[in-house]
Amino acid sequence: MRNQAFAYSPELSHQVEYLEEQGKLLLILAPNRHYSGLLRKYNDYIVRVDLLRNSLEQKKTGISGRSKP
C-alpha cells in the first residue's frame, strides 16, 4: 500500500491509527481549525485546507483554456 491522504471523519480513526503505525500515513486534511480533538496526537500530519485556499484557487488569467476558436 502506498502512502495515503484522505479527509478525516470519526469513522476513520482506526484507519488513521493503522496507517500511522505502519508508517504509511501521509496527510490528514482538515477543513479549518475546528477539527476533532481526537486528532491532536496526529498534529504532524494535519494540513488545514483553509490555509491553502489562496494557493488552491483557480487564478483568472484572461487566457481561455481553448486552443482553437
| Residue type, position 20, single letter | E
The verdict on residue 40 lying in a domain is yes
Q: Domain count of the chain?
A: 1
The sign of the CA dihedral 42, 37, 28, 16 is positive
Greater confidence, 18 or 6? 18
Name the pTM for this structure. 0.61
The verdict on residue 49 lying in a domain is yes
Taking alpha carbons only, the member of 19, 69, 26 closest to residue 45 is 26
Q: What percent of the chain has pLDDT over 70?
A: 67
Greater confidence, 40 or 6? 40
pLDDT band with cut points at 50, 70 and 90 for residue 24: very high
Which residues does residue 25 pair with via DSSP β-bridges, in sequence order?
4
Q: Note the pLDDT of residue 1.
A: 47
Distance CA 45, CA 41 (A): 9
The verdict on residue 8 lying in a domain is yes
For residue range 27-44, list pLDDT tens digits in order: 888 888 887 787 888 889
The verdict on residue 21 lying in a domain is yes
Query: Which residues form the domain of 24?
Result: 4-53
The verdict on residue 60 lying in a domain is no
